[in-house]
Amino acid sequence: MRSSYRFVGDVMNDRIVVLRLGHRIHRDERITTHVCLTARAFGADGVVITGDHDRSILESVRDVVNNWGGPFWVEYVSSWKRVVHEYKDRGYLIVHLTMYGINLPDVISEVREGFKRSGGMLVVLGGAKVPGELYRLADYNLAVTNQPHSEVSALAVFLDHLFEGREFNREFTGGRLKIIPSPHGKHVIEEKKG
């Protein structure tokens, strides 16, 4: 089973794809949604989800892309291994975020250089159970601190370091709303669609 929900964007231009493993319906709904929104905000192009097929994730992400712009996509795939091998074959660097890996400051320069020479990057985020094989298939097992916290924060901090903060100025296109940063309130403008 493979279902693709490409809201905006073109797969051939993808540089960063996130693979979220083993989504469980209900229990992981909000965490996986936050993973997708974090991926989008911090510069990834799309998220592949394995595990339960969950329409609520798609709807939440579609609403955000409609309101705030893209490009961004979400896809369900049943086999994580097939995804990893497909991206490996296309020359992508496989980076698995795990608290057991090498701490970010000790490896981020090397990952950044490898990324520049690669076809792109697949960033793999574990779910409830991470298959041991993934640790061997990954080019890098990278820890965002060697402490337990969250796949959401691990993804954000990793992408922020990878891009060295450039994602803060990322422009999204095709959305309806835009924030004018404000010191003490909310200022949102509605943009005309081109």
**Residues interacting with a copy of itself, by CB under 8 A?**
27-28, 30-31, 34, 37-38, 40-42, 64, 68, 99-106, 135-136, 138, 140-141, 143, 145-150, 152-157, 160, 165, 167-170, 172, 179, 181-188
Contacts of 194 (CB under 8 A, 6+ apart): none
DSSP state of 99: E
Q: Of the two residues 2 and 30, which places its CB atom closer to a copy of itself in the complex?
A: 30
124/21 Cα distance (integer angstroms): 7
Q: How far is the CB of 125 from a copy of itself (least distance, A)?
A: 12
Min separation Cβ 5 and a copy of itself, Å:
18
* 77/137 with CB nearer a copy of itself: 137
Closest separation between CB of residue 42 and a copy of itself, Å? 7
Instruction: Give the span between the Cα atoms of 104 and 24, in whole angstroms.
Output: 28
User: Between 8 and 99, whose beta carbon lies closer to a copy of itself?
Assistant: 99
Nearest alpha carbon to residue 102 among 162, 63, 142: 142
CA-to-CA distance for 109 and 47, rounded, in angstroms?
24
Helix (H, G, I), strand (E, B) or coil at 90: coil
